[in-house]
Amino acid sequence: MSKLKEIQKLVRNGLYYVTEHADEEAATEGFDVYDVERALLNGQV
């Protein structure tokens, strides 16, 4: 299984966390954890 597929499986099952720092940085850039989830599940990395 590819790393991306492994990450997608973890995201689908809610088995990950976002650090406070990452959350703050994302907010600074105008997006949130749900945007990250959508990108990981539907986009290309």
Residue 30 predicted with pLDDT over 70: yes
SS3 of the chain? CCHHHHHHHHHHCCCCCCCHHHHHHHHHHCCCHHHHHHHHHHCCC
Residue 44 predicted with pLDDT over 90: no
- Residue 43 pLDDT: 81
Please report the sign of the dihedral spanned by the C-alpha atoms of residue 28, residue 34, residue 37, residue 41.
Answer: negative
- Residue 17 pLDDT: 94
**CA separation for the pair 43, 45 (Å, rounded):** 7
> What is the token pair recorded at 6?
């492994």
